[in-house]
Amino acid sequence: MAQLTLRGVCKRYDAEKKLFHKKKESNLAVRNLSFSCSDGEFIGILGPSGCGKSTTLRMIAGLEQITRGDIYIGDTRINDLMPKDRNIGLAFEDYALYPPLSVYDNLAFNMRAKKMSEDEIDKSIRYVAPLLKVDDLLDRKPTALSGGQKQRVNIARAIVRRPGLLLLDEPLSHLDGKMRQTLRHEIKRMHHEIKCTTIIVTHDQMEAMSLADRIVIMKDGELQQMGTPLEVYDDPANVFVAGFIGDPPMNLLP
């Protein structure tokens, strides 16, 4: 498990230079973002498209450079650590499985790259596979799997090395309503079993409200509110949160 802390984190994307080397206005995608999550906590980062939530996740993972601020895992500042040195498991929405390999070999791929023994690899896979109900799929190729099965394998691959921190980037966005509900329950059950500090990025408030212990709500790269699902629903910090949370959203009188 791992405690994660963000302190004043910013990310700026500079637009391409115009003629005569004049720059367009910089786009600050994440603005002075600060929050922390405890060991074993499940955090949801929620907000509309373009609010900076996936950029935040990518900075935590080391896939985007931080413009300003600091990120810590425990007492270790990880700004300059390579992704492979951060002990993080990451699952994207697009599965990214290797088509020629079986499910078993997809799960084993990164562990083999780290020169783990085959006994260790097999033990890890046999432990994780039942948690996400992929134990009967280990001999299949990704092309023979449904979307829900591919996402189960994708998440299993992220946790099979028992990372200190698990990052899930819109893992259910490609699935239909029934399968999304099923996988929400399985992700929640998995989290209770492995007790890994987990962050899920989503635009779906139902996912965030049902999965997360606390929710980070973002708009235009800025933190709007952080609290339990009940806190953000019953006591929204501002008009944006009040209008964003709830189905149907809260009616706001002029």
Every domain of the chain and the residues it spans: 39-64+82-244
What's residue 13's pLDDT? 86
Q: Residue 69: which of 5, 10, 4 has the closest Cα?
A: 10
What's residue 252's pLDDT? 58
Residue recorded with tokens 């799929």: 137
- The count of other CB atoms within 10 Å of the CB of residue 176 is 11
Q: How far, in Å, are 10, 61, 85, 163, 215 from residue 205 at the CA level? A: 24, 23, 32, 26, 10
What's residue 173's pLDDT? 85
Segments in 62-117 forming alpha helices (H):
103-113
Nearest-angstrom CA–CA distance, 87 and 61: 9
CATH superfamily of 39-64+82-244: P-loop containing nucleotide triphosphate hydrolases (3.40.50.300)
153, 186 Cβ separation under 8 angstroms: no
42, 191 Cβ separation under 8 angstroms: yes
Nearest-angstrom CA–CA distance, 45 and 23: 32
Token output for 136: 């009967």
From start to end of 14-127, where are the E strands?
27-37, 42-46, 68-73, 76-77, 88-91
Query: Which long-range contacts does 123-128 make (Cβ < 8 Å, 24+ apart)?
Result: 124/160, 124/161, 124/162, 125/160, 128/156, 128/159, 128/160
Nearest-angstrom CA–CA distance, 237 and 218: 12
pTM metric for this prediction: 0.90
Q: What is the pLDDT along the chain (254 residues), one digit of tens a residue?
A: 689 999 999 999 874 444 444 444 457 899 999 999 999 999 999 999 999 999 999 999 999 999 999 999 999 999 999 999 999 999 988 888 999 999 999 999 999 999 999 999 999 999 999 999 999 999 999 999 999 999 999 999 999 989 999 999 998 888 888 888 999 999 999 999 999 999 999 999 999 999 999 999 999 999 999 999 999 999 999 999 998 987 655 665 55
Q: Which residues contact 233 (CB under 8 A, 6 or more apart)?
A: 209, 245, 246
Token output for 44: 């949801």
